[in-house]
């Protein structure tokens, strides 16, 4: 059974694809690509809406050369006037570049919004047992994908079949329960697992991407931010391909965005990079030599930090068996002998006069032994390469051979 076509949501500037998973194990059929949406309502004024959208647009974190951000914005129709959704959507489309999800059971409000959205391909949320005929009509007329919301699996299958007969081809399935009961998370997760298992076992109607809404839990706000982020993490792991949450706190979104990045990464790419010497910028005879591990994640983070700082230096990537600095120090793979050996083997001794080695902070206790073995001057750098700029500014008082003359 072929699981899905990609379901594409578009704005004039961006495209986001929803993709159903092909296995119950996370990476068995290639990395999953969950999509994250945040939700607002049309129940607030234009000003507030624009402010919210600008905040969402600004929410982005640079990580290993990638920009992490929320993929989609969802707007829920709660206003009394049907036209309000179209107005809200217009405000949003002029303040954010992200594709949209239009959330309402009111087909009149949705129709007005769809008419006003030029160059967009939003997701409609959602068809139910009540409104499915009208929703099918909208989805086919405007050629947009349709979310279907129904907790009961048999009824969901029947709905998909009926909608299919009316010509709808692109579905996103929501098994969420209407009420925010105590065990909503367990119930939704179970439902997603069962449905994904069913689709892999041949249930045609479930071959589409799944979605989940993270419900508000009413309690102390900071706790609620945290539990919502954890619930979203769980749903991202099993098996929501689209998650809508109301969260816009940076600190609570950050782990979700990073988890999304982790899930999209391919674990079959070996965690090691080639050990050896790398030039960062244009190093000269006075440039320091920085030590790091050959763990892929560490290497790319350190490299991008150094490049961001526009430093000129040598980066000596030591073979730690693909372990991070911290693990390799704990496990003994990063030790004075290995460092001395790597230094000799790299040929950097012929490239610099200054002989200044900077150890990662986690390897601080190796300093004396490395000095003894190599005869180089050894400084213990910060634990995190994010702080290397400050560190060098403070600890390398002599003029350095960089165009900036010291960061």
Which residues inside 2-41 make contact with another protein, applying CB under 8 A?
A: 22-29, 31
157 binds another protein (CB under 8 A): no
Residue number with CB closer to another protein (14 or 386): 386
CA distance 67 to 56: 14
Binding status of residue 190 toward another protein by CB under 8 A: yes
Residue 15 or 62: the one with the smaller Cβ distance to another protein is: 62
The reply on whether position 1 binds another protein by CB under 8 A is no
**Residues between 124 and 143 that touch another protein (CB under 8 A):** none
Tell me whether the omega of the peptide bond preceding residue 239 falls within 30 degrees of 0, making it cis.
yes
> Is residue 57 involved in binding another protein (CB under 8 A)?
no
Give the ranges where 70-182 is alpha helix by DSSP (H).
83-95, 107-116, 132-141, 153-165
Task: Give me the residues paired with residue 172 across strands.
Answer: 147
Q: What angle do CA 292, 294, 299 make, to 5 degrees?
A: 65
Binding mask 259-298 for another protein (x = CB under 8 A): x-xxx-xxxx--x-----------------------xxxx
What would the two tokens of residue 187 be?
């119930």
- Residue 155 CA, distance from chain mean position: 33
Residue 224 interacts with another protein (CB under 8 A)? Answer: no
- Report if residue 54 touches another protein, rule: CB under 8 A: no
Is the CB of 95 or the CB of 335 nearer to another protein?
335
Cα–Cα dist 337/398, whole Å = 29
Q: What is the DSSP string of 77-91?
A: --SSSTHHHHHHHHH
The reply to whether 407 sits near another protein by the rule CB under 8 A is no
Q: Does 189 bind another protein (CB under 8 A)?
A: yes
Tell me if the bond preceding 126 is cis, omega within 30° of 0: yes
Map the footprint of another protein across residues 375-394, applying CB under 8 A: 384, 386-387
Q: Considering the complex, what minimum distance in angstroms separates the CB of residue 42 from another protein?
A: 28
Using CB under 8 A, which residues numbered 166 to 185 contact another protein?
Answer: 182-183, 185
- Smaller CB separation from another protein, 57 or 384: 384
Distance CA 159, CA 165 (A): 10
Our CB check for another protein shows the closer of 164 and 255 to be 255
Rule CB under 8 A: which of 70-99 touch another protein? none
Considering only residues 306 through 365, tell me which ones interact with another protein, judged by CB under 8 A: 321-324, 326-327, 329-333, 365
Residue 142 burial by Cβ neighbours in a 10 Å radius (0-12, 13-18, 19+): middle
Considering only CA atoms, which of 342, 387, 390 is closest in space to residue 361?
Answer: 387
């Amino acid at each position: 059974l072929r699981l899905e076509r990609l379901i594409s949501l578009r704005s004039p500037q961006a495209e986001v694809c929803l993709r159903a998973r092909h296995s119950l194990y996370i990476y068995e059929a290639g990395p999953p690509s969950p999509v994250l949406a945040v939700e607002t309502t049309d129940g607030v004024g234009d000003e507030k809406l624009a402010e919210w959208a600008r905040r969402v647009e600004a929410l982005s974190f640079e990580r290993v050369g990638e920009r992490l951000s929320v993929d989609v914005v969802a707007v829920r129709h709660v206003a009394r006037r049907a036209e309000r959704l179209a107005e809200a959507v217009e405000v949003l489309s002029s303040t954010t570049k992200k594709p949209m999800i239009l959330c309402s059971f009111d087909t009149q409000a949705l129709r007005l919004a769809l008419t006003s959205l030029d160059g967009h391909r939003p997701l409609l949320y959602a068809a139910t047992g009540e409104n499915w005929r009208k929703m099918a009509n909208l989805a086919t007329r405007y050629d947009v994908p349709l979310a279907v919301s129904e907790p009961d699996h048999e009824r969901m299958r029947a709905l998909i079949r009926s909608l299919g007969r009316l010509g709808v081809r692109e579905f996103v399935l929501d098994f969420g329960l209407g009420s925010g009961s105590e065990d909503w998370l367990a119930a939704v997760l179970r439902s997603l697992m069962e449905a994904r298992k069913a689709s892999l076992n041949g249930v045609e109607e479930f071959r589409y991407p799944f979605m989940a809404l993270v419900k508000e839990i009413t309690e102390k706000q900071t706790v609620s931010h945290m539990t919502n982020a954890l619930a979203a993490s769980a749903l991202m792991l099993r098996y929501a391909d689209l998650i809508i949450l109301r969260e816009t706190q940076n600190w609570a979104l950050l782990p979700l965005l990073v988890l999304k990045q982790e899930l999209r990464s391919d674990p079959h790419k070996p965690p090691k990079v080639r050990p050896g010497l790398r030039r960062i910028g244009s190093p000269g005879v006075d440039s320091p030599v920085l030590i790091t591990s050959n763990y892929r994640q560490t290497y790319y983070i350190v490299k991008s930090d150094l490049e961001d700082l526009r430093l000129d230096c040598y980066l000596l990537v030591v073979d730690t068996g693909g372990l991070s600095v911290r693990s390799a120090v704990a496990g003994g793979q990063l030790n004075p002998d290995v460092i001395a050996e790597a230094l000799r083997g790299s040929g950097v001794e012929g490239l610099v006069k200054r002989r200044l080695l900077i150890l990662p902070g986690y390897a601080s206790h190796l300093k004396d032994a490395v000095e003894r073995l190599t005869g180089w001057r050894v400084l213990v750098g910060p634990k995190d390469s994010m702080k290397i700029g400050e560190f060098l500014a403070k600890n390398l008082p002599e003029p350095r051979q960089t165009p900036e003359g010291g960061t």
